[in-house]
Amino acid sequence: MPSSVATPKLKALLQSGWQRFYSDFLLPDRTPEFRRLLEQALARGYRIHSIASIWEQIKAGRLEEGPLLVLRLDIDTDLRTTRALWQVMRELNVRGSFYFRLCTLDVELMRAIHEAGSEASYHYEELATYAKRHRLKSRAEVEARMPAIRALFAANYRRIKALTGLPLHTVASHGDWLNRRLGVTNLELLQDRSLREALGIELEAYDDALHSHYAQRYSDGAYPRLWLDGDPLAALASRQSVIEILLHPRHWSANIAVNLQDNLGRAWEEVRYRVG
Ligand SMILES: [Zn+2]
């Protein structure tokens, strides 16, 4: 390619394309790094919680002395890596919360997680799902359909509860490409106390009732920004009091088949949303 054609914009595009390719198809297995992170937390005296287990303490007004680490995994894709991370947690006898989408629901795994003292619950996205299905193009259109969006959520939530037999006392919102496009989070569908009470939902993982106890939350990211909000290892080393670490299995190992399928599915969704 002539250098005159390789404008800064094109270079940036090529670089981000390469990074995405590396992240999706070449990323080495980071499970050993996950193990080291948990071992470091345990060595520094952290007690490791699921969101359900720390919520029980907050609710009862008896949050134990720190340092505490809340471990949350959003299962957006990739059950194979989820199982690998779960295996590490079992070996270290560590709890955490696993939030499954409808497309990653695995009843057997969810029950096993619950029976071992961790939490398995619902990573919901009905607002985005509904907006895609009905090709809603603005916040106003979404708000006008909120009763139907909430009904869809309630039906799915009840179905998962019946299917798994799990308490699902806490749930966590998924962030979809359409949420970003419309500037509306899935979380907004749960800004309705009566809906939560009717379903038995005690906490949304982003609620202030939980986050007000955190010194900081750390989230993983796609290569090359493997941590978005600073390195949690530094937080552990300084024994930061109460922290949450949010992980997505996709960022911990390249599951080529799953990522390929997810990328194609994403492109197809976009086409249907625009053209359909
Ligand atoms: Zn998600």
CA of 5 to the centre of ligand 1 (A): 38
Distance 72 CA to ligand 1 centre (A): 11
Structure token digits, residue 222: 């796609």
* Distance from residue 98's CA to the centre of ligand 1 (Å): 11
Q: How far apart are the first and last CA of the chain?
A: 37
pTM: predicted TM-score of the whole model, two decimal places? 0.94
10-residue mean pLDDT profile of the chain (276 residues): values are 68 88 84 97 98 98 95 97 98 98 98 98 97 95 97 98 98 94 95 97 98 96 92 93 96 88 88 84
CA angle 77-79-84, nearest 5°?
125
Q: How far is the CA of 247 from the centre of ligand 1 (A)?
A: 10
Distance from the alpha carbon of residue 7 to the mean position of ligand 1, in angstroms: 34
CA distances from 12 to 9, 15, 19, 78, 118 (A): 5, 5, 10, 28, 42
What residues does the ion ligand 1 have nearby, CB within 5 Å?
A: 74, 76, 174
How many angstroms is it from 8 CA to the middle of ligand 1?
Answer: 32
For 9, phi then psi, to 5°, come to -65, -45
Quote the CA–CA distance of 236 and 243 in Å, as a whole number: 9
**Domains defined for the chain, CATH in brackets:** 31-275 (3.20.20)
